[in-house]
A and B are shown apart, each in its own frame.
Chain A
Amino acid sequence: MSGSFRTGIGGRIRRERTVRFRFDGVTYAGVEGDTLASALLANGVHLMGRSFKYHRPRGVLGAGADEPNALVEVIRDAGRTVPNLRATQVELYNGLEARSQNRWPSLAFDVGAINNLMAPFIPAGFYYKTFMWPRKAWDALYEPVIRAAAGLGHAPTDPDPDSYLNRYAHCEVLVVGAGPTGLSAALTAARGGGRVMLVDEQCEPGGSLLSEPDVRIDGLSTRDWIARTVAELNANPRVTILSRATAFGYFAHNMIAVNERLSEHQADPVPGAPRERLWQIRAGEVVIAAGAHERPLVFPDNDRPGILLAGAARTYLNRYGVLPGRRVVIATGHDEAYRTAIDLSRAGVEVAVIADLRPRPTGPLVELARALGLPIRTGCAITGSKGGRRVTSARLSAILGAGKLGPPDEIACDAVLMSGGYTPSVHLFSQSRGKLRWDEALSAFLPDVSAERERSAGACRGVFSLEAALADGATAGAAAAGVAPPTPLRTTAVDAEPAGVIGAVPHDRGPGARAFVDWQNDVTSKDLKLAVREGFQSVEHVKRYTTNGMATDQGKTSNINALGVLADELKRPVEKIGLTTFRMPYTPVTFGVLAGMARGDLFDPVRTTPIHGWAVDQGAVFEDVSLWKRARYFPQGGEDMEAAVRRECVAVRNACGIFDASTLGKIEVVGRDAAEFMNRFYINAWTKLGIGRCRYGVLCREDGFVMDDGVVGRIAADRFHVTTTTGGAPRVLNMMEDYLQTEWPELDVWFTSTTEEWAVIALQGPKARDILAGLVEGIDLSQEALPHMALTEGQICGVPTRLFRVSFSGELGFEINVPASHGRRVWEAVWAAGQPHGLTAYGTETMHVLRAEKGFIIVGQETDGTATPDDVGLAWAVGKAKPDYVGKRSLARPSMSAPDRKQLVGLLTESPETVLQEGAQIVASLGLKAPMPVIGHVTSSYYSAVLGRSIALAMVSGGRAKMGETLYSPAGSGDVPVKVVGPVFYDPEGARLNV
């Protein structure tokens, strides 16, 4: 390329500050204030990417969020590689390293470009039509090849080292967009005294004014007016301005999600410094001042590098001091392109021709261009371009009417700047579920009926004139804040005619010509027409079939042109075709900012018991049970889990074990109707339960299936200490509140979660009483005073305790409830007192084995939400005389007592060493081939050290009638024969409990 395309003066850049960066391995120089796109253009580089489907060489098209072509990866290191960034929005910093996408091995020579030559064979819907069958080829061939060829950029290979922040915010008025309209709206709204937030995606406020150096507002230059406005806003403590902050989602009840980029623009962000912040802003009123996007022209070969939007070219010139070329062709259907022509001409660029589709364009801008002597051809269509990696000429034809074109004319140029007019950005409005209407005069969808407390202002609702937009913003800001609008500001802006063109430019190029509508997804006008010919009528179907508007740019440049093409083809007006739905995010956001601070230590709360630290000190291995960490086993001297569990089990059966049961859910049920509530709620009978006695309670849902279980102690006539499963506590409490508040509000009873009030130390084994004896005060531990399933209150180690005589192991057992703060101290005292007795700490794994030996169920292991109390052998718990309890009516359904229901049984393998897999299926006979009838499954399976053999619990269809029968469990090594036995393997008489 021939030298620098940087102008000598002008723009909002700092020419004296050189910034070095690399693009595809080549080092370039830009200046401070550049974007990656403007810096590359200043170096004469237009080729910035390859298209997604055809891998066609592509230059930058726009200058902002709407950019479909110039997608790049920015690489800091292996953990910080960000794909799919728009080069037009990447702020340049020293050392920036960027890579183009969709090319291999290089941008200039791309093997995938073979797709371009194959284009006639890859029409719309090609994937759907071609890769249908044979089915096997999909896995082996189609999918791998498509996956290798597709995709935009590369994900980082290392974990993301950056941090991300979150913030909730509230304001009376939120203004989205800090262009002239948004600044005007925020300024007015702030005068109402409420909290005002102004968010803008760019690095500084100003929006379109940043590209308007020559206009004066209220007698000030745009630079000074922006500065004055921002200063007034900043001086107001009730105003917050966020830059580099994209409002990407509009959620119900005026919740706006904003992605604020904190360090993306910095050359050397402080290590660990936050990269982005997610704002969730709840606004009383929202003013959307999102501006508009320029429409490209849909003409053959309109995607060559060097062909860009006229407004973008003007932004590069006026904001970045960059020339898009030396000799340009302006192709337009709208006045705004004349502004570009005029500014470029004044900057010394040769305007070869302004080709205007309109037969008789008028207005001050056209007249100004004429007065400057710029060559203008009216009624003139651009029908093609030439060039390799850069456009070299434009093909122009006169429009003769009735679909006829005059002979073509080739105009040499190094850039084509096009404009079809401006499309209001209704993305956020549409996300808010507001209804749009089609405005024929503007060829645009405009906000019509709001669904939220929201108003659009300025260009995003079709008010394009600067003076009118400033006034519109002020009016919207005033209305949002409930204040009177100020006197309108005067400007020196020359207005453009708002109307433009949509759809395809007429051409005479034959069927092979490709006029792109959607640059990013490579959709041409021909694809859209093909979709219609193949029978697609709905715009939603056409979108999915052709993928028009489905790329990461959300069709910002393509949607309206696509509608224009469809309207022509369907012979229907645009408003009858309708628009596809806009979805968040407005521009792509990182996963990091959505995850926010919920990473690492803070991903979830890690709940630990008061005794946790002791278990850590002892080298316990932990498991996650809901959010809790529970000690699973306590390995000694290099034991594996199996060895540790066998030792722990034997110790409990022969001496004593100590177990941290603090995570058990606990609910205090208090009130004079407490017993009545318990009676209605649990399946058991409670009224006759004596004070100081416990009962194993079973809770069903209303559909009759077991939901939870746990021991319930009666502390006083009006007070029950209810325990639940570890994971079930919130569910049970919620269900209690549900029935009390909504079905039985007449009951005088209240529930309080006491899970964390008490540390629970389970002491289980024949020596348990001996160990406790020296620690308690005022408690008679004898079998007579405190029998199995009794409880008492008193003191242990000087602190109050609720002492339960209960057992989940089948041994003599106590559960010592002490205030949580004292849990560790009491545990250590019990531990010390137990040492002479061989006291052994055990974890959840041993607890599971011990209870399985006794045939005690675990809700959620033996039950799966479809087991009745009778299915799991708990029919005895039902208070049969009760007229009602939750689940009773459902349990009376005949199917709930059908003889072939799955029932809890024990299983014994022939070989005592064979431990069945939990979850393994049970079948009736040997040698069945899948799919075979399955009659049950293994729910719990362990090696029992004390029994010297394996044991298993299972749910088997009609299991209780199959006692003694041999069934089979299919396993990888063949069917394992199992004998059906009762579920209680150890001490079936319960002799060890009542000692």
Chain B
Amino acid sequence: MDRRAFIKIGGALTIGTVLGQGFQFYQAVADSKGEKTSALAKNKWGMLIDLNKCDAGCTACVDACRKENNVPLFGDKERDIHWIRKASVKQKFPNAREQSVPLLCNHCENPACVQVCPTMASFVRKDGIVLVDKHRCIGCRYCMIACPYKARSFVFKETHDWTNKDVPKRMHGVVEKCDLCVHRIDKGQKPACVEACANANNGAMVFGDLNDPESGISKLIANNAVQQIRADLGLKPKVYYIGM
């Protein structure tokens, strides 16, 4: 065999091996039938919280979130994980009223956490939800430093309570945060906190599509004096507050 023939055969074998495998895999994935749903770019999910309706003593949203997403409380302030928490806010002048503000991930349009993530584990989904791919996260915690809202928590240890088995737990060594109950959104439901708030007869939390001008949340934003937390940072947060 001369050199030319040898290279020809070798090249053909290499191409065949690579393409064959790839094609086989592609075919298997393309063959997949059955029900499928997908996040759509036309949606832009956001949340509005009416602080006038939010009761300072009520923790329905926090409890529902912990139950729905298996968010543990270890009773150790430095290890506890918060997806949504209630902070008490008071202005500095005398006789100022104290407000209880639910704080969660703002699902920014220009998220600082996504920019700094070295593994692209943090990302923005097509419908505007900022997510952490826990399969990919290496737990470097850059995102926790970058986030001005302190929305992210590091999983120092695993939880053993598994209240909702449809939602996975997290292994230690990843960063997690509010995902707007993305598994529920994909089923066409509202986030657990919003539902719990409505069930507690407060109805302070409204969830909806910011891209749809006819949605409840868009109308409320258009007709009220709404505020975002630290809008000056330019991250374009998608959680709005009334009466802050």
Chains A and B are bound partners: no
B residues with a Cβ closer than 8 A to A are none
A residues with a Cβ closer than 8 A to B are none
